[in-house]
Structure 1
Amino acid sequence: MTSRTEAGARRTTCRCGAPVLRQLVGRRAALDVTADAAPMPAPEAAALREDNRLDWCLRYPAGGGPDLRWADCHRARDPCPYPHVIDHQCTGPAAPRTPRTTRKTPAVPDGQLTLGAPQ
């Protein structure tokens, strides 16, 4: 996980080519959110919600870039005045997996002792 000093989402591109917003949302148990960059009204985003696909409230603080927040505004009587975005569902090819090796090949022939490198 990378540490970021500035708050808010960063704009990037998914491997499928779609523009997305990425941000750690939450203070304690933060979620690494990748959401579609296209904003939509709150009721439209709520209709796209699924068990593993959430919508996020998109705000633009004064002088700042986009900032994703929990969309807990669905419980309010009045509709949320802010645009919303929905979790991204990637349609691109799967990232190639590189095989992991658990053993290092010895730098010396079998049977020869080696000294550890000073640390």
Structure 2
Amino acid sequence: MSRYSRSSNGARRTRCRCGRTVLRQLVGQRAALDVTADADELTAAAAAALREPNRLDWCLRKRADGPDLLWSSPSHRANCPHPHVIDHQCTAPAAGPPRTRTARTSSVAEGQLALV
């Protein structure tokens, strides 16, 4: 049985559209979550205090091939020595409604073909 490689699964630093540096990673082997977390490192207690139903905190492990995010479940050690990060909440304005196309008028009479 082969072990899966962590080399391609680690977190990578990117910029969000709001300008903040974030960590992005697919966390999990089967039903992976696409995680975008703030790059600011917190203690386990500080991250747990910011946790909400739709905002999780993550344990940030530093591996030889880069940072790796692990879910900080309720059974996670309260005195975990690793830094923790929290899900990112983007502050950039939401994209506006899609632009509608305006109808073009044709210079030829209806029923005639126009060469383009």
Instruction: Pick the structure with more strand per residue.
Output: 2
Number of matched residues? Answer: 98
Computed over aligned residues only, the root mean square deviation of the Cα atoms, in angstroms, reads 2.4
| Aligned twin of 1:16 | 18
| Aligned twin of 2:38 | 36
1:63-101 superposed Cα distances (whole Å, 9 cap, x missing partner): x211111113x535651110000000000111355469x
| Aligned twin of 1:90 | 90
Partner of 1:60, secondary structure, is: strand
1:35-77 superposed Cα distances (whole Å, 9 cap, x missing partner): 0001100000000000000000001112x211111113x5356
| Aligned twin of 1:67 | 68
Compute the TM-score of the two structures, normalised by the length of structure 1: 0.71
Partner of 1:33, secondary structure, is: strand
- Name the CA distance, whole Å, in 2 between partners of 1:33 and 1:65: 16
Which stretches in structure 1 are left out of the alignment for 5+ residues?
101-109, 111-119
Q: Per the alignment, do residues 86 and 96 of structure 1 end up closer, same or farther by CA in structure 2, a change over 3 Å counting?
A: same
Q: Per the alignment, do residues 53 and 76 of structure 1 end up closer, same or farther by CA in structure 2, a change over 3 Å counting?
A: closer
Which stretches in structure 2 are left out of the alignment for 5+ residues?
1-6, 101-110, 112-116
| Aligned twin of 2:108 | none
* Structure 1 runs of 4+ with >4 Å offset: 96-100
Task: Say if 2:44 and 2:78, in contact at 8 Å, map to a contact too.
Answer: no
